[in-house]
Amino acid sequence: MTSKAAVLKSEAEIEIMAEANRIVAQTLAMLRERIKPGVTTAQLDAWAEEYARECEAVPAFKGYRGFPGNLCVSVNEQVVHGIPSRKVVLHSGDIVSIDFGVKWRGFFGDAAITVPVGTVSPQVAELIKVTRESLDRAIDQMKVGNRINDISRAVQDHVEGQGFAVVRQFVGHGIGRQLHEPPEIPNYVRSNGSPRLVAGMVLAIEPMVNLGTSAVKVLSDGWTVITADRKYSAHFEHSVAVTENGPRILSTLG
């Protein structure tokens, strides 16, 4: 994907994407308030679908390459792509990463948050904090003329500087009329060529950060990615437009 050019968006298209992403952000905010011990991940999935359809948006993940849920709900050592289930009940001390996307007026929105359930350990709270900070630092680099590697370096330097590890097998991506568009946005610096940022790019920036090593594996369901050492992982994501006036976060309630 890195060899392909990003699909640039007009100002009008970015406004549509802002609306799509606002629905995503509102959904995530609603779910964050409802996450508590005793809730199942299937219930979170149902709430997300209900809210999106009330907004006349189509959940983007269900059926995408065969994925069975509206939400990706990843608990504890699950990194990404966790499948919602009535059998998975949240408990105090868990963390849950929820990744959601919608299609609205022909364009996609995509964002993710990690939420503590009840009280978590100080180390796990720090993992969540550092992951969120790495996303903010990455977005700060989304200026015309910078390169993809500047985004990647901001994540990697902050995460590794705090003693955590970035996941390397999964990356951020362009987004627009397709859920996944070029270019790839790794959370570590690649040595090969790195595209320059230009106005009109819309990128889904999504640090995935592990408490232990960077190694991950996919479970037998073909979707759920877990840490190889079974230590906790956190995930945050925003869809962000590159503009002449700097980065514009689309998936925000502000």
Which residue from 146, 152, 151 is spatially nearest to 199, judged by alpha carbons?
146
Alpha-helix runs per DSSP H in the chain: 11-34, 41-54, 122-140, 148-161
What are 146-182's pLDDT values in tens digits? 999 999 999 999 999 999 999 999 999 999 999 999 9
- Residue that has been written with the tokens 């549509």 in this structure: 16
Examine the pLDDT at 254 and tell me if it is beyond 80. no
Range of the domain at 68: 11-249
pLDDT band at 192 (very low <50, low <70, confident <90, very high): confident
183 domain-assigned: yes
For residue 41, the domain's CATH number is: 3.90.230.10
**Number of separate domains in the chain:** 1
1 domain-assigned: no
**Average pLDDT estimate for 45-73:** 98
30 domain-assigned: yes
Which residue from 61, 78, 74, 80 is spatially nearest to 35, judged by alpha carbons?
74
CA distances from 119 to 16, 133, 159, 202 (A): 38, 20, 23, 36
What are 221-248's pLDDT values in tens digits? 999 999 999 999 999 999 999 999 999 9
What is the amino acid identity at position 169? Q
Q: For the chain, what is the largest distance between any 2 Cα atoms, rounded to a whole number of angstroms?
A: 48
